[in-house]
């Protein structure tokens, strides 16, 4: 794994592009500038790692577009030390962005091969996320409640089990919709069973799948 001056230069440009597109949180932009995204892609795509685009990562899944990763992370308003649950570990890139801004990260992936591959990669890179193989719809009751929950696949609705695992005052960011595009929703748990909803425009994600699909 080589991270050279050329990669670093491309990363600075990508960070600037994301700033131009409207991301304001400098902690998030700093994370994008630091994390070698080319480590997360299959080697045939390395040259494209610093374009602001999603890419295939195997098992029919994708690594999200950096702008989308930054957008979702910014919406979460993570404070240092907060417990964040991510659904859809995928390549692990989003988990690393969360770690870089000081979150304690828990992440679930339903594809076993991706889980294994990503666990090895993050270990090698020295990123300390707690990764789990399983069904994200169920969350991690043993580790709940979470300050924040981030869903990185399209969900038909905010999963009820996950809303239960959110702290009061906590927030969930989730792309909601089962068609071709989804609406980015931020749901704040203001009290037990009481939520405030905000939407933040249209995005495109791979679908969140149940256990048996």
Residue 43 three-state SS: helix
Q: Could you list the residues that contact ligand SAH (CB under 6 A)?
A: 61-64, 87-88, 90-91, 93-94, 108-111, 114, 135-137, 152-153, 206, 208-209
Task: Report residue 121 as tokens.
Answer: 């990669």
**Smallest separation (angstroms) from ligand SAH to the CB of 194:** 26
Q: Of the two residues 150 and 187, which places its CB atom closer to ligand SAH in the complex? A: 150
Q: Of the two residues 116 and 168, which places its CB atom closer to ligand SAH in the complex? A: 116
Question: Which residue among 43, 44, 59, 64 is the active-site one?
Answer: 64
Distance of alpha carbon 91 from alpha carbon 34, whole angstroms: 16
Contact between 208 and 182 (Cβ < 8 Å):
no
Alpha carbon 93 to chain centroid distance?
Answer: 7
Taking CA atoms, 8 is separated from 49, 55, 57, 92, 191, in Å, by: 12, 20, 22, 19, 44
**Smallest separation (angstroms) from ligand SAH to the CB of 81:** 21
3-class secondary structure per residue, 144-210: CCEEEEEECCEECCCCHHHHHCEEEEEEEEEEECCCCCEEEEEEEEEECCEEEEEEEEEECCCECCC
Task: Report residue 128 as tokens.
Answer: 């300390």
Residue 64 designated active-site: yes
Residue 87 three-state SS: strand
Q: Of the two residues 61 and 165, which places its CB atom closer to ligand SAH in the complex? A: 61
Residue 53 three-state SS: coil
**Smallest separation (angstroms) from ligand SAH to the CB of 59:** 6
**Smallest separation (angstroms) from ligand SAH to the CB of 91:** 3
**Smallest separation (angstroms) from ligand SAH to the CB of 204:** 11
Active site (catalytic) residues: 64
């Amino acid at each position: 794994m080589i991270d050279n001056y050329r990669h670093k230069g491309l990363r600075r440009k990508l960070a600037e592009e994301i700033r131009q597109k409207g991301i304001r949180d400098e902690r998030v932009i700093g994370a994008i500038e630091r994390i070698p995204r080319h480590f997360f892609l299959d080697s045939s795509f390395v040259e494209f790692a610093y374009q602001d685009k999603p890419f295939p990562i195997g098992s029919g899944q994708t690594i999200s577009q950096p702008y989308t990763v930054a957008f979702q992370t910014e919406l979460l308003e993570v404070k240092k030390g907060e417990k964040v649950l991510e659904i859809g570990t995928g390549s692990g890139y989003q988990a690393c962005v969360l770690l870089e801004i000081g979150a304690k990260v828990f992440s679930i992936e339903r594809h076993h091969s991706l889980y294994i591959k990503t666990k090895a990669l993050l270990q090698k890179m020295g990123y300390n996320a707690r990764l789990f193989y399983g069904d994200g719809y169920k969350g991690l009751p043993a580790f709940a409640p979470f300050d924040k929950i981030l869903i990185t696949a399209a969900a038909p609705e905010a999963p009820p089990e996950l809303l239960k695992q959110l702290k009061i005052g906590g927030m969930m960011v989730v792309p909601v919709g089962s068609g071709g595009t989804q609406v980015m929703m931020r749901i704040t748990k203001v009290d037990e069973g009481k939520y405030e909803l905000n939407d933040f425009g249209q995005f495109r994600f791979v679908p969140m799948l149940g256990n048996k699909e």
